[in-house]
Amino acid sequence: VGDTNAVVEIFSIDASTGTIASIDTSSATGGGASGIDVAADGSALYVCNFDDDTLSAFTVNSTTGLLSIVAGSPFAAGSVGPH
């Protein structure tokens, strides 16, 4: 997650060599992306946007790993403390 450019960078890992390669980026859509979490089953990815107290939500393609923004995202998350 990049705070200044508000993107989530997507990587692949070659299972046989361990090589990591960037495959895509997706806009986090909120301000000040500062944290990331993946659903336990791998089907969704969430980005906390600190500057505007929102949460960006994506579905994860189980074959390619590419992200699709969830309709209506980012969602209001409320303030969690002083900025």
Q: What does the pLDDT look like over 31-83, one tens digit per residue? A: 777 788 999 999 999 988 888 888 899 999 999 889 999 999 999 987 755 55
Q: What does the pLDDT look like over 10-28, one tens digit per residue? A: 888 999 999 999 988 877 6
Tokens of 25: 């980026």
Task: Report the C-alpha gap between 67 and 24 in whole angstroms.
Answer: 9
Phi/psi region, residue 62 (left: phi>0; alpha: psi -120 to 50; beta: rest), is alpha
One-letter identity of residue 68: S
Tokens of 68: 């699709």
Query: Which pTM value belongs to this model?
Result: 0.78
